[in-house]
Structure 1
Amino acid sequence: MSSQAMNSRARSSKAKLTLGPVLYNWPAEQRRDFYFQIADEAPVDVVYIGEVTCSKRAPFLMPFIPEICDRLEQAGKEVVISTLSLVMSNRERKEQHELVQDSPWALEANDLSAIGLLKRREHIVGPFVNVYNEDTLDYFYENGAQRIVLPCELSGKAIERLLSSNKGREIEIQAFGRVPLALSARCYHARSHGLSKDGCLYVCEQDPDGMNVETLDGEAFLAVNGTQTMSHTVNNLLGEINDLSKLGATHFRLWPQQVDMVRVIEIYRAQLDGAIAYDAGQETLSELVDFAPFSNGFYHGVEGNRLVE
């Protein structure tokens, strides 16, 4: 982590906004330009970069990572490199070892093998590692975690319980975007096109916000992104982040989608700062996100795809 990013973090005690890693297969040049825009225009504090979903995508972005990180740090953003969320092959294990050994930036561990490699070193525990209770929270902090990103399916009551026992340590909540629900060793995205995982032709690039999965009645209820199963709905905790901030949540994650993410970040920042009314912010978000409805059901202890006003 650069000294500039650490100083920026020390200057402010209010809840911070983070931009999660791009989960989808966006072209590498598009990702580069996206991060450049985030660096120059978005009021976000932390930016996560890296391939989380499929290791086959990683080589395309790799050449751009140094200049992306440099641009973000020059803009005062804290940069974190996210690791793969499902490590299976010898090649993936080797690449993860190299990343842990050589990265000059902070790391987000999204797999228990990465957490093992980072033992006693400062890192972030990502949302693909299940943290459901106080003992697990304490274990990862004692292992070296600086911050823990909670799973999306926790209810508000469960989050409140974890925050109340957290002793002032950093906790990050997923507050916007389609949420990752499950991972598979197989690639349904490729299979749906009659292809194998090894010969996928990167067809997931055709669905920059994920591919909708429908019931037999034609109702969309999930989304597929390569080997990842996601919510069809877009998680939206705009109305809950202020209460969570008061309870002790320190960071709120916004997952990138193919929408005007700078404007999305501005709305969440304004909500945290008390500079915009909830209804106005929600109306603008509804105009920006037109590919799926919003939901916050997990937080309210009901079906995850529901929106509770």
Structure 2
Amino acid sequence: MEAKRAALSLGPVYYLWDGPKWRDFYFRIADEADIGHVTLGETVCSKRQHFSEPHVAEVIERLEAAGKQVTLSTLAMVTLERESRHVRDLVRDSIHPVEANDLSALGLLKGKPHSVGPLVNVYNAATARTLAARGADNICLPPELPAVSIRQMLAAMPDFSFELFAFGRMPLAISARCAHARSKGLTKDNCQFICGEDPDGLPLRTLDRQSFLVLNGVQTMSNSCVMLLDDLAPLISAGLSRVRLSPQDCDMVAVAKLYRMVLDGRMDGDEAIGAISTIYPSAPFSNGFLHQKEGAAWVSRGRTLATGPA
């Protein structure tokens, strides 16, 4: 029997990249990456939207011309009327599927086919069934889920499309306040888009200089980068439909190529992980949550290597 081939997908860019860099990133994904699904759109901070909005139409056109399926993301936190209006307009007017990354969007999407992003806490089959009954046709599971919970959902809903966050810094929390701006002596209202100076996030360290977390505007992310290459085969065999890569400030085309080669059995996982460590040396790798360990742990061949807090 032919082995199941999971699709590779790309999540939205969480960081603030200037418009041309954002556009050219997706142009290259369209032209060079073996990725079937692309979710794009501002997810973290509505103030950043004017950087990417002038390029959205041409990016979508380029991606679709290359055969990619495009989904548009909602904001992860809606606190202002203009943000609420933006989400309402997106749900009402978009001709593309929408991915909900905030519970407030789910009410607007009820009865319409849509996706649910990894920032929505879907931790069990009962929640997944409820969302599916309301119109969800794909759920990207949160990165903090252990494999046993993922397997239970796959077994309970064998004909449903589940996606797994499998590469990138983990989105851990989001706030109405901007710690990134405060760290630079600014306020959220007058942030001067200072987060753009850190295209891969602003690293935080403890008082004893241990790497801890990463700030990304109003979002808090893990210091470690999720790397699930060696862990995917059993989950795909159990029914996982998609494997999501979260864009980092590195050569994501090369990362996607290595993931595809491992998923297709054309490269050993250890070899690919070694190659990705040279492509993206900015963060230690982790897969602890999947193995019911601390999130920043690295579990490999039966050994657990601590790499610091998530």
* TM-score tier after normalising by the smaller chain length: over 0.9
Q: How does 1:11-30 map to 2 (within 5 A)?
A: 14-30=5-21
RMSD of aligned residue pairs (Cα, Å): 1.0
Aligned residue for 1:106? 97
Report the Cα offset of residue 13 of structure 1.
Answer: 6.5
Q: Name the count of aligned residue pairs.
A: 298
Distance in 2 between residues matched to 1:286 and 1:94, nearest whole Å: 41
Distance in 2 between residues matched to 1:305 and 1:297, nearest whole Å: 6
Distance in 2 between residues matched to 1:256 and 1:201, nearest whole Å: 23
Distance 1:274 1:13, change over 3 A: closer
2:183 to 192, 197, 204: 192
The answer as to whether partners of 2:158 and 2:239 remain within 8 angstroms in 1 is no
Aligned residue for 1:151? 142
Aligned residue for 1:218? 209
Query: Secondary structure at the residue paired with 1:239?
Result: helix
Query: Secondary structure at the residue paired with 2:244?
Result: strand
Q: Does 1:115 align with 2:106?
A: yes
Consecutive unaligned residues in structure 2, runs of 5 or more: 301-310
Q: Does 1:54 align with 2:45?
A: yes
Distance in 1 between residues matched to 2:179 and 2:116, nearest whole Å: 27
Query: Secondary structure at the residue paired with 1:280?
Result: helix
Aligned residue for 1:258? 249
Aligned residue for 2:159? 168
Q: Does 1:131 align with 2:122?
A: yes
Q: Does 1:267 align with 2:247?
A: no
Q: Does 1:140 align with 2:131?
A: yes
Q: Does 1:232 align with 2:223?
A: yes
The answer as to whether partners of 1:223 and 1:231 remain within 8 angstroms in 2 is yes
Q: Deviations over 1:54-104 (max 9, x none)?
A: 000012211211110000000000001111000111110011111111111
Report the Cα offset of residue 162 of structure 1.
Answer: 1.1
Distance in 2 between residues matched to 1:293 and 1:256, nearest whole Å: 16
Q: Deviations over 1:26-78 (max 9, x none)?
A: 00110000000000000001011100000000122112111100000000000
Structure 1 length as normaliser, TM-score?
Answer: 0.95
Aligned residue for 2:304? none
Structure 2 length as normaliser, TM-score?
Answer: 0.95
Distance in 2 between residues matched to 1:14 and 1:74, nearest whole Å: 23
Q: Does 1:282 align with 2:273?
A: yes
Report the Cα offset of residue 152 of structure 1.
Answer: 0.9
Query: Secondary structure at the residue paired with 1:179?
Result: strand
Q: Deviations over 1:121-152 (max 9, x none)?
A: 00001111101111101000000001001111
The answer as to whether partners of 1:242 and 1:271 remain within 8 angstroms in 2 is no
Percentage of identical aligned residues: 48
Query: Secondary structure at the residue paired with 2:290?
Result: coil
Distance in 1 between residues matched to 2:288 and 2:235, nearest whole Å: 16
Distance in 1 between residues matched to 2:136 and 2:244, nearest whole Å: 17
Aligned residue for 1:41? 32
Distance in 1 between residues matched to 2:101 and 2:57, nearest whole Å: 21
The answer as to whether partners of 1:122 and 1:145 remain within 8 angstroms in 2 is yes
Query: Secondary structure at the residue paired with 1:18?
Result: strand
Aligned residue for 1:69? 60
Q: Deviations over 1:246-290 (max 9, x none)?
A: 011100110001111000000111111111111211110111111
Query: Secondary structure at the residue paired with 1:68?
Result: helix
Distance in 2 between residues matched to 1:257 and 1:60, nearest whole Å: 18
The answer as to whether partners of 1:16 and 1:251 remain within 8 angstroms in 2 is yes
Distance in 1 between residues matched to 2:40 and 2:280, nearest whole Å: 23
Runs of 4 or more, structure 1, over 4 Å off, are: none
Q: Does 1:302 align with 2:293?
A: yes
Distance in 2 between residues matched to 1:94 and 1:282, nearest whole Å: 43
